[in-house]
Amino acid sequence: MSELGVKDNTCRVVKRGFSAVGTRHEAKYSEYPTVIPQSFDSLISRMEEIQNRTGEKLALYEPGNYAPDNLGTYYTTAQVTEIGSIPQGMVSQTTPVCTYAVYTHKGEIWKIGDAYGSLNRWIDENGYKHSKGWVVELMDERFNPTSPESELEIYTPIEEK
């Protein structure tokens, strides 16, 4: 991962890619708040099967039209240093290296919509626009979905306007 120098108290810009192993799912966007935590519960129960884990979990969101009734594809995964043997029923996913705006969401997971709003405003106000690519949520040791002190990083692909 390389920092590209643009930083303030809310966002930073980085260039990187992700490699992950986990499970692929489809659901309506309006169902994401319910189905994604269930998908992670299932993944966590099988985490030991995944080789080369870094300890971080990733939610990967396929680019699309995020209208509530539209069907979206997402992956609940473990980040890996390299793709090894893929456990039965799982898939690997590698995102290409691209430029991301990164926002650290602090607080309860149900408030994540506010974080996306802040990130989108920052992108618009700082000379960037969204680019086609995977949106990634990275959860490390700071993440606890029931804690008001929880943190996760949101990576949104961007390009200059």
Q: Is residue 100 a contact partner of residue 157, using CB atoms and an 8 Å limit?
A: yes
**pLDDT of res. 113:** 86
Q: Which DSSP letter does residue 123 get? A: H
Give the span between the Cα atoms of 152 and 97, in whole angstroms: 20
Q: What percent of the chain has pLDDT over 70?
A: 94
Q: Which pLDDT does position 7 carry in this prediction?
A: 44
Structure tokens at 25: 């799912």
Region 132-143: what's the mean pLDDT?
94
CB atoms within 10 A of CB 152: 23
By the 8 A CB rule, do 158 and 102 touch? no
Q: Write down the mean pLDDT value for the chain.
A: 90
Domains of the chain: 2-160 (3.20.80.10)
Rounded CA gap, 59 and 18, in Å?
11
Give the pLDDT confidence score for residue 123 in this predicted structure.
94
For residue 61, the one-letter residue type is Y
The model's confidence at residue 9, banded by pLDDT at 50, 70 and 90, is low
H/E stretch holding 76 reads: strand 71-80
The tokens for 59 are 């939610």
- As a whole number, mean pLDDT of residues 65-87 equals 92
Residue 95 has pLDDT above 90, yes or no: yes
